[in-house]
Structures are given as structure tokens and as C-alpha cells.
Amino acid sequence: MTYGGEDQWIRLGLREYPRTNRLILIASSVKTGPDAGTGVSKDVKNEAEVDYTRLAKGLLDKFKEEEKGLPEKIRSKYLLLSPPDTRNHYELIRFFRELFFHIVQNNERIIINTTSGLQVWKLALYQVAMEFKEHIEDFYLIVKTSGEKRSIRIYRELKKYERDIIQIISEKPDISMGEVQRTYHKRNKKGNLTFISRTVKNLIHDELVKETKSGREVRLQLTSDGRSFIRTREYDSIISPLFKEI
């Protein structure tokens, strides 16, 4: 979890994943002032300098104290990391990539909470998370106005045939697999049912397509994430004028 001096987002994150085996807080010392941003908690904003590593260590000590009465084998591990260069994007990528390598080698899954802390950390973590996608359990933030957890999807690049199938499913609600195959074949002059079925299953796995059953028949729909891949004339009419030569 990235840490910016606001304990509540870390506690809320642990509430979402109470069985966390190892909590690693990413923190550093930064100065407050006009360029410090809004990530500093209210109780420390008036200080000339905020030592986030000290605050983070204090929070971890509280967690350890709260688990003091538990058997040692079921206690969580609470760790603090401070990147050597806290604002260099490329050095942060190297740092987080090394961290992920160690986690994967230890046969652990990765959950990332980026609610707090520096934006440059979040960008670097997202970039490295794309490389380790198969080992990422969740990459999320907590909406500060509502306390809602919002997962940030880590997408792979879709193939053209996958985009074509998403387009077909968008055109008819509750379309069947057979209808998708016939439409795809009509437009591309190829694509048997086995190929279409396998591709749709991959899209379901990526949570871009969902299936519902009506009796023995399976119907397909796009999820909200899936619909985000469909281009619309409404948005095009707003954006395309920006690229027209004057």
C-alpha cells in the first residue's frame, strides 16, 4: 500500500482484505508547503516537514500491538519500504519490479492499494503491475468521498478479432454464441464455432463479457468494462474537431 500520512485508507484497505499475510507500506519523507499537494493528513499539515516513514512506522507498530495476543503463526507481517529515489519514475519502476520479483518468488499473490501517497508511485506501480498481471489479485483505490473500493483493471492489449467480437456482442443484447459466430464469419469470411467459443471464454475471463443462461441456451452481454471498448459518435463529435486542420 502506498502511504501519504492518512491512516484511514490503509485501515479500510485491510478491512477489504482481512487475511492479508504481508503488508508492505511504501513511504518517504517529504516537505509540506505550496508544492506538497493534498495528500497530507489534517493532523500533520501545519508541520514544516512531514516524515512519512516515521508516521508509517507508528501505524505499523499499532497494527502489531493489536495482534499481540494472537498466536505468532497467524499474525500478519508488517513491513516498511522507502524507495531510494522517491520521484524518479524509471528508478521507481526498477525498485517496484525488484519488489514484485521477490513476492512472486515467495509464491505470494499481490494486492495493491494506491489510495494514498505520491502519484508517481501509483504510475510506476501500475506499469510494473502490467508486467506481473497474472500475479495481481487486485489493484485498487478507495474513493475518498464515499469509502467505496474501486478496482483498476489491468488490461492486456486486445487482438483485432477480440475487438470485432466485442463489437458484435454490443450490437445485440443477449446474443447467442452461434449468432456471434455467424456474424463474425459473414464479416470476415472465417472463424469457426470453436475459435469463437475459445475467444469469448477469454473475454469472459477478462471480465469484458458476461454470460447468462436462459434455459439451456447461453446468452452473451458486455460488462461495463467491455462497453468501454466501443467507440461512440457522441464522443467522436466532441474530440474529432480538435484534430482537424484549421
The domain spans of the chain are 7-151, 160-227
In tens, the pLDDT along 94-127 reads: 999 999 999 999 999 999 999 999 999 999 999 9
d(CA 24, CA 88): 20
The domain made up of 160-227 is a member of CATH 1.10.10.10: yes
How crowded is the C-beta side of 176, counted as CA atoms within 13 Å? 9
CATH numeric code, 7-151: 3.40.50.10770
The arithmetic mean of pLDDT across residues 220-224, rounded, is 94
Distances (CA, A) of 194 to 73, 90, 182, 190, 220: 48, 43, 12, 12, 16
Closest CA to 55 of 118, 4, 131, 105: 4
The pTM (predicted TM-score) of the whole model is 0.74
pLDDT of res. 180: 97
Distances (CA, A) of 140 to 137, 209, 222: 10, 21, 22
- pLDDT greater at residue 42 or residue 132: 132
Rg of the chain, C-alpha, whole Å: 23
d(CA 201, CA 65): 46
Percentage of the residues of the chain whose pLDDT score is greater than 70: 91
